[in-house]
Amino acid sequence: MAALIGEERGIIAIMFALMLPLMLGFIGLGIEAALWYKSHRDLQSAADAAAIAAGYEIRSTSDAATRSAAALREAERHEFDTSDGDTFTLIYQYPTTGSFTTDENAVEIQLTQSVVLLFSNWFLDNAVTINARSVATLTSTTEACVLALAPSASAAITNAGGATVSLTGCSMAVNSTSSSALKLTGASILTTECVSVSGGIDESGGSSITTTECPEPLENAIAVKDPYEDVTEPTSLGCDYTNYNATNETLDPGTYCGGINFNGTVTLNSGVYIIDGGTFKINAGATVSSAGGGVTIFLTKQFSGPQYADVDITGGATVTMEAQTTGSYAGLLFYQDDDTPTSPPSNQTIAGGTSIDLTGALYFPKGYVNYTGGATTGSGSCTQIIAQTITFSSVADMNINCSGSGMSPVTIYDSVTLVE
């Protein structure tokens, strides 16, 4: 017995046999933990794919059912299965937590999944539940310099009569849901960074669209927000001038009832010009410029009637004007009263053969803009055209250089990005 007790041969085998179940248990738990981690990564991939799919449906203005179906379909492609008790939650406007709770374009996906227990069921009574959350939102890679606000008009933007429109450094956006919201006819040509249309595009007569930054024009897109809709309109105490004829002189800010008729060489001192009824009319041969500090031309009808003021820049004029870069009306060069009726049409004309260098927004929220006949902007200018509808005829070139202009961006949401 004493000899047997002192015998040490085979001790390693005995210890290994005793430790083997414990070692196998640890190995099994390690493998199971790795499986849990993989399951969580797979579930996160499903949530990310679902969020991106829902984001693209938001960009395309799909209804809630379509958004949810597209998101669930993408999740299921990543082995997410609601028939096994997995749960799917889509939250749109607005995510419940995180940094995007105030983002109206953000969508949140929440997924939960039960993991089958293997070795861990020796000491765990219930299945392990894993969760995944993903948030995607619409993002922008470009800004518009031409925006038509009309919600349902056919031909809200028109390239007609062989018009060649070149937008350098910016894009075009149309909020109309009409199937022909953007209409090109008569071999007209449009070249721009991107095109975003809430409805459809109607091309005929050999017309063409070239997008330099986007793969192709985007149809059925989310509407672009009007960046100036909340600006408080200026008011006046009465008419400072009535039916004013400006010829070879310098003008001061004030209320011009019945409009201003420009001839010769005229300079506008910095400030706000309220055009109360009548027309801000620049005649052929006139040279009109703004002094340092910039101007805002507000078109309204407060004292003189019966019609709201409009703009008419006729062929052969030379115009160099800049908007104010600071203050309440920063970036607004022409600013139409939002109370202007749309019927009869409020026509605003920038027409044939005009040499024009406008820095600022041509903002006509109720107006119908005719930008025609060789109107161009200078290479150093920054111009936005925002109106109910916009018609281009002949050649129209706009070159965009907006540094320090004070203008508000016209954001096109053309991409979807995972943000959380």
pLDDT digits (tens, 9 = 90+) for 370-380: 987 655 555 55
Residue 85 has pLDDT above 90, yes or no: no
108 and 228 assigned to the same domain: no
Residues 128-141 have a mean pLDDT of: 87
Res. 35 pLDDT band, cuts 50 70 90: low
Are 269 and 232 found together in one domain? Answer: yes
More confident residue, 395 or 109: 109
Do residues 227 and 246 touch, judged by C-beta distance below 8 A?
no
Mean pLDDT of 339-344: 89
pLDDT of residue 250: 96
Q: Say if residue 135 is in the same domain as residue 150.
A: no
**Contacts of residue 337, Cβ cutoff 8 Å, sequence gap at least 6:** 233, 298, 299, 300, 301, 308, 366
pLDDT over threshold 80, residue 74: yes
Residue 10 covered by a domain: no
So what's the pLDDT on residue 128? 73
Are 121 and 94 contained in the same domain?
yes
What's the confidence (pLDDT) of residue 310? 95
Examine the pLDDT at 215 and tell me if it is beyond 80.
yes
User: What is residue 25's predicted lDDT score, i.e. its pLDDT?
Assistant: 53
Choice among 78-87, 110-119, 209-218, 230-239 with the minimum mean pLDDT = 110-119
Q: Concatenated DSSP letters for 308-360?
A: --EEEE-TT-EEEEEB-SSSTTTTEEEEE-TT--SSS-EEEEE-TT-EEEEEE
| Structural domain boundaries, residue 265 | 142-414
Domain boundary among 124, 139, 154: 139
Q: Is residue 354, in this structure, part of any structural domain at all?
A: yes
Residue 103 has pLDDT above 70, yes or no: yes
pLDDT score of 176? 96
12: pLDDT strictly greater than 80: no
Distance separating alpha carbons of residues 108 and 91, to the nearest angstrom: 5
Residue that wins the pLDDT comparison between 253 and 204:
253
Selected residue with higher pLDDT from 114 and 187:
187
Q: Among 93, 111, 139, which residue terminates a domain?
A: 139
Query: How far is Cα of residue 159 from the mean position of the Cα atoms in its chain?
Result: 22
> Does the pLDDT value for residue 398 go beyond 90?
no
% of residues, the chain, pLDDT over 90: 46
CB contact at 8 A, 240 and 256: yes
Instruction: Give yes or no: residues 313 and 396 share one domain.
Output: yes
Q: 385 pLDDT band (50/70/90 cuts)? A: very high
The residue that leads in pLDDT, 119 or 53, is 53
Residue 2 within a domain: no
Q: Give burial (CB, 10 Å; 0-12/13-18/19+) of 320.
A: middle
pLDDT (tens digit, 9 = 90+) per residue, 274-318? 999 999 999 999 999 999 889 999 999 988 778 899 999 987 889
Same domain, 301 and 204: yes
Q: Give 18 or 96, the one with higher predicted confidence.
A: 96
Residue where the block lists tokens 């209320």 = 255
Among 15-19, 145-149, 270-274, 382-386, name the one with the lowest average pLDDT.
15-19
Q: Is residue 420 part of a domain?
A: no
123 and 206 co-located in one domain: no
334-338 average pLDDT score: 96
Q: Judge whether 1 lies within some domain.
A: no
Least confident of 116-120, 195-199, 274-278: 116-120
Q: Are strands 157-168 and 310-313 parallel, antiparallel or unpaired?
A: unpaired
- CA gap 189, 185 in Å, rounded: 9
Placement of tokens 């070139």 in the chain:
397
**Residues 181 and 301 both lie in one domain:** yes
Question: How many domains are there within the chain?
Answer: 2
174 lies in the same domain as 103: no
The yes-or-no verdict on residue 269 having pLDDT over 80 is yes
Question: Bigger pLDDT: 22 or 69?
Answer: 69
Task: Show the tokens assigned to 184.
Answer: 């090109």
State whether 258 and 168 are in the same domain: yes
Q: How confident is the model at residue 167 (pLDDT cuts 50, 70, 90)?
A: confident
- Average of per-residue pLDDT across 191-196: 92
Domain endpoint, select from 139, 168, 196: 139
Instruction: Indicate the pLDDT class of residue 358, thresholds 50, 70 and 90.
Output: confident
Q: What is the mean pLDDT of the chain?
A: 85
Q: Which two tokens stand for residue 317?
A: 């004029």
169 or 364, higher pLDDT:
364
Residue 205 lies in a domain: yes
With a cut of 60, say whether residue 200 has pLDDT above it.
yes
Tokens of 146: 């031409």
**Helix 11-59 with 64-77: angle, nearest 10 deg:** 150
Asked if residue 157 and residue 111 are part of one domain, the reply reads no
Do residues 280 and 133 both lie within one domain? Answer: no
